[in-house]
Amino acid sequence: MRVRVEQTPLPGIGVRHDLVTTSGRTVGVVSHRSGRRDLVLYDVDDPDSCLASIPLTDDEAEALADVLGASLMLGQLAGLRQQAAGLLTEQIALPAGSPFVGRRLGDTRARTRTSASIVAVLRDREVIPSPGPTFLFEANDVVVAVGTRDGLDGVTAILAGDTDG
């Protein structure tokens, strides 16, 4: 299902992006020319009337986007897990002492060695979907992997340096 986002120029102010939820509520973001952003909620009975406006700092806007993006992606992975018998999704912390800190994902050879796939990396508050083989790991990354129980245990062992690399 596609969600339609309407963009409305606000002369002298900036731009407003609105979307109507399936429950009929309209929520929007006003991006001011100054860089300020406001999260706005509109009245159900009068879509031109704003019920609430919440100013967001850059860090708050980024955190909100990350929370929404991460939860959406992880929810989709959870749905995939339910559809495929025996297929699991797991978040695996990359320990600071891992031999793969500062090295490329391809160096792990995780998929070849375990048949499990690394489908995303969570770093700070950022979601990095579908990292390629040249992706560089950093200490405290959280790897999102999909595979069998044995495959996920294998990825965990590889990242911890508990197997031959």
Mean pLDDT score, 7-26: 85
- Tracing tokens 């050879």 back to the chain, one arrives at 109
Q: Per residue in 100-126, is it b (16+ CB within 10 Å) or e — as a string? A: bbeeebeebebbebbebebbbbbeeee
Domain 88-160 in CATH 3.30.70.1450? The answer is yes
Decide if 114 contacts 140 (C-beta within 8 A): no
Residue 75, pLDDT > 80, answer no
Decide if 165 contacts 99 (C-beta within 8 A): yes
Mean pLDDT score, 34-51: 86
Tell me, what's the pLDDT at 156?
93
State how far the Cα of 121 lies from the Cα of 108, in Å rounded to an integer: 14
Query: What is the pLDDT of the chain when averaged over all its residues?
Result: 84
Residue 84, pLDDT > 70, answer no
Which residue spans of the chain are classified as CATH 3.30.70.1450? 88-160
